[in-house]
Structure 1
Amino acid sequence: MPVVTEIAVFYYGFICWKKTILNENEFSYHKDSGTITLLIAIIFIVAIETMVLHTLLAKWNHLAAWILSFLSIYSGVQLFGFLKSMSKRPISIEKDKLNLRYGIMSETTIELTNIDQIETWTKDIKLDENTRKLSFLGELESHNIIIRLKEENTLLGLYGIRRKYKNLVLHVDTKEEFINRIRTATR
């Protein structure tokens, strides 16, 4: 899985530039959440930190300066790939499944028959082994929907890390339409 994640970072960051047009069964999650702005700010900070640290380390050891610079640039490239993947991988409702994606950072597929309850939820929530967030940013990103399941499911994260959950909180740009579509599909 780590190799696949690395390939996906470069694919979404540098190859896949075509604008994604959402179908009626697809929903975006990146436009209103502030995540794009946060990731751009982090990339900017990494760029500044790389230049300053390289200059300081070069006075001590050129090899160490270049190694650290390479690692910092690679981190920036990864963040850029994560950022670009968010608009390319929307949430989708297929026949009897809900495909939840958060770029290439996390994803899960939920059988619609396994959904016990879905509702608008903006209150703080304690994240634990039963309650997870779709976003890899955790508390740094807001959520507006909670999905409660009848049976436990698995959230697949970066580099193939698997986590079990029974409640999942996430952000969807058009939350009311999304909730109505799920409720209609589960009837």
Structure 2
Amino acid sequence: MAHISKNIGFRTLFWAGFWIFLLDQASKFVVVQMLGLRHVQRIEVLPPFLEFRMAWNQGVNFGLFSGMDMRWVLIAVAFAICGFVLWWLRREGGSKIVYISAGILIGGALGNIVDRILYGAVADFLNMSCCGFENPYAFNVADIAIFVGALGLVFFTEDKKKKARKNK
């Protein structure tokens, strides 16, 4: 994959992150506030596959450490990860898909940071179950974006050392 100029790359990263952040915050506003999920706690969307189920996640994935007040620690960790990704891209560069992946990851992380700052917890509401298995966990658009962005960085980042050895 061809590297793109860092200016174009960071512009691409910005817009990917911006749209993911906007989609995440808009979806949370519509479902939690406008549809009233905050009060009704459950809305069947496509039973039994998809329902909106209100969960305020104070911990990390799957509610780990939710009994502890880790709000500011998790905010700091999310900012540190975003900073590291930006530093790493500034240093290494990458293809367009790498910058898009980074933007998706950062946009999702910022969406969850905003939740933690405003509410003290992340608003999770998507719940998917299938085939007799009832999933007890909920997630949100930001969680999906973080996962997809991280996968993109893993799969689309070139290892320059391997590439240099291969070209010799």
TM-score range, shorter chain: 0.3 to 0.5
TM-score, reference length from structure 1? 0.30
Structure with bigger strand share is 1
Structure with bigger helix share is 2
TM-score, reference length from structure 2? 0.33
